[in-house]
Structure formats: C-alpha cells, structure tokens
Chain A
Amino acid sequence: MKPIFKRILFFVILIGFWSLGSALEWWSEIIFPSPLSVWQSFVSGIEDKTLIYGLIASFRRLAIGLSISLLLGTSIGILIAKSKTADDTIGSILLALQSVPSIVWLPLAIMWFGLNEKAVIFIVILGGTFVMALNIRTGIKNVPPLYIKAARTMGAGGIDLFRRVIFPASIPHVVTGSRLAWAFAWRALMAGELLSTGPGLGYTLRYASDFGDMSLVICVMIIIGVIGAIVDQLIFQRIEKNVAKRWGL
C-alpha cells in the first residue's frame, strides 16, 4: 500500500473513533467536542471571517518577525564565524539564549513595548534569531577548505571570496537554519498571541477558551498544526532535499 493511502486510512480511523466516542458519549461534548462541532466552528469562523482575520494578522507578525530574525541571525552568525573574539564572547551566550524559550521574555517585552503587537514581534524575533545564528556559524565553519583553496588560485579573495564561495557553500546550513527559525518563530508567535493581545490565531484561541468554546479551541489548534506541518514539509523539507542533492551531501 502506498504511504499516502496508509495516511488517509489512518486519519479516517482516527476521526471515526473520535466521532464514535462523541456519539456514544464516552466523553462530554463540553470538554471534548465532536469532529462535527469542530468542523462547524471552522465553517462559521471562515464565514464571519474571524479565522481569516486572525490568520492574516498572525502571518503579518510572523513575516515581520521572521524576516528580522533571519537577517539578524545571519549577521550574528557571520560575525561569530569570522571573528574569534566575537565567537568567544557573543558565541558563548548564544547557546544559553537558545535554550530559553523566547516566551519567557514576554513580561519584559510588555514592560518595554506595552501590551501590543511590538511585544509579540519581539518574542518572534528572539525565537528565530539564535538558532539561525548558530546554523550560519556552523555552515561557514564547515565550508570545505578545498573550495577556498581552489577559489584563491582563481584570484578570489576578501569579500569576493565570501560572496561567491563561502556563503553559497554554506547554503545547506542557511536552509536548515531558516527551517528551524521558522519553527521556533511560529511557536513563539502562538504563545505570544495567546498571552498578549489580538487579533491573531493565538488570540482567537484564548478568546474561545474564555468563552468556553472548546470546538473553536480545537479548530484553531488543528489550524496551527496543519500550517506548521505544511510549511515544514512542503516548503522547507523540499528545499532542503533539493539543496542537499545539488550540494552533493
């Protein structure tokens, strides 16, 4: 059986079991709504555009935050790959910063920027920057010395060598870094929105929770998961695979 059929069958069984459990009242509709109510929440959310506005607002923040974090992360990565002093100083705290979930910065962010969009974007930026920086550093440090030697014999040096050889050679790590930065930023965004202010998917989730609308809660959770999986598998993993093939990895 093809993997795609196995997958479809799996979801059919999963949703079937869920419907069955709801129909036979193995659990209460209030604490765990049936697939049908979740679907109805989804349809009405699309019809009254709450979900659409939420999605657009979230993606706007994500786009701003992720772009800044990719740029910032790349700059820091290049700096610590190229300067020993920077690596010994900034480099040493990066791993520690990376281990701190960026959402724990929210209280500070709210103090600094107020309870608004800026605070959430700040959290998103922190979510993506460090992992990007670490990957860029690894990428640059692992450029095969032979490429650099060959380029030097062909008259390349300085900025030219960096632009034409070192950076392109580290593209596989740039892609991995971006994929991880996206994943961290997406999680940070949802957490940030959940705890701060709307509109946004995360905010819709909290709003639904405040009103005890568990079917909308589940609906938003599924949307968050599906978007995450689509971006990761259909976009990043595909690029990663192509790059790995061309780069001969």
Chain B
Amino acid sequence: MFLTINDLNKQFIDQNDITNTVLQDINLNVEQGEFISILGPSGCGKSTLLSIVAGLTSATSGQINVDGHSISKPGKDRGVVFQEPALFPWLTVKENVIFPLKKEMSKSEAITHAKKYLKMVQLTNYLDHYPHELSGGMQQRVAIARALAMDPTLLLMDEPFGALDEQTRSRLHTQLESIWRDTKKTILFVTHSITESIKLSDRIIVMGTQPGVILTDIKVDIPRPREDHKQEMIEIEEHVMQYLKKEIDKVVSGEL
C-alpha cells in the first residue's frame, strides 16, 4: 500500500479546557496512482487531515506512512496545493516554480524543469510575469506546476478550486485530470463539492463531523471522461447525498 493512515486521532484543548476531537480513528489506505477525494461538510476536519499528511500539523496519535516512510514533518515527497495559490509575490512565475528546486539542481536545469510543468498547465507564455499580473485561476495553475515540479510522489490538494468561478473551475478539472493521467501521481483532494469529487476521483472518502470520522468509502467506477456518463454520476451523487445529508443537517442545526 502506498499511503496508509492508521488509527489517526487529532484533539486540541480550547480556552475553556474542553477537549475537542477534530479527527477520530481515521484509517485509510491508498494505492499508488489513485485519485482520492476527501469529501465532507465544513468543520469535519478534512483539511486538518490533509495538513497532517503534509506534515504541517501534528496528530495526537496514530501513524501515517507514505511509500514506506513514516511522516512527521513536511517533505518534498508530498506537494501541497492550498485553497489560496500561496505564490510568492516578489518572484516571477518562473522563479516561483523553481523555488523548491534550488538545492538539488543548477539554475538552468531548474528552469528547463519548471518550463516542462508550466507547459503542462499551459502557462509557458507567462514565465516572467509576476503573480499579481495573473488571474486567480492562472495563479492556481502556477501553484499546481510548482507543486509538481518537486516531483512529489503524493499530491495533496486542499480545496484548490474553491475560490474560483464555475467556468474556470471546470476547465481546471479537465486540466488536472489530464495531468494526473500523464504523471500518474497519487492525489489526495479535499473538497466540499460532491460533483467535483465524482467528476475527478477513483474513490470518495465521505467524512462526518463532530467528531471528524470517515463515514464511508465509495468507489467511483465510471469511465472517463465522465461528462459522457451523466446518469451514473447522478446515481453516485444520490448515494453520497444519503450520507452527507445527516451531516449537513447537523452542521446547520448547530449554527442556528
């Protein structure tokens, strides 16, 4: 198994000394090259889970193994794409993409490398632009190229298209799908959009809230491109909705 998460728990103690459980008994196995969506309502801890896999947040207990190595801190074997592009505004597109490559290769090698991934996201014409000169969707594509340029074995994406408009999002779905097909990366994709998860992933991990637990693991067995199989997509959507409805009601009633 390529990625294994065993009995993972995450708790924190708030100002009133009350222990909050963010994640409870999370177990997950992922094969190499799989596209996995983690789907759940806000507050279910899905982003925290991703952050723990990235090594940015520590777990209270439990084990994570990626490619046979136990995870405790961030590493270049795991590329992360955040909801915000997180590009460095003082660097050009090209310089942003070679940021993680500085140590292991010469500058010219790094640039060749960067160009390869910027081509993948169709931004070779913007090498010397600064982030503020690009649209939100383009910035996010640069962020994807930057994460891919490290050649990570695992790509972690935390609602990467959440802040984009519907049309841009849909175009990026297609682009991400082809990148995934070409690079054969294992992808862990956090989202709260059911359609997005069905459109993209091999498996959907549905999470429930308070505490964050895995409710079910649904295999999406629809041939790609999936736009041509609307009927099957709707069936899965209804299936997922049965699990999510209760959770969403829980969140809504908590807010009222």
Contacts and interface: CB of A to CB of B under 8 A. Distances in A.
A89 interface: no
Interface string B41-59: 0000000000000111000
A247 B99 contact: no
Nearest to A243: B90
A146 B88 contact: no
A150 B80 contact: yes
A60 interface: no
B99 A152 contact: no
B76 A169 contact: no
B88 A168 contact: yes
A225 interface: no
A174 to B, nearest CB: 11
B56 A153 contact: yes
A164 interface: yes
Given A146-B84, A155-B103, A247 B90 contact: yes
Interface residues of A, number: 19
28 contacts: A146-B84, A146-B86, A147-B88, A149-B56, A149-B80, A149-B86, A150-B86, A152-B55, A152-B74, A153-B56, A153-B78, A153-B79, A153-B80, A153-B147, A154-B76, A154-B99, A154-B100, A154-B146, A155-B76, A155-B100, A155-B150, A171-B90, A246-B90, A246-B130, A246-B132, A247-B132, A248-B89, A248-B131
Interface of B: 54-56, 74-76, 78-80, 82, 84, 86, 88-90, 99-100, 103, 130-132, 146-147, 150
Interface of A: 146-147, 149-156, 164-165, 168-169, 171, 245-248
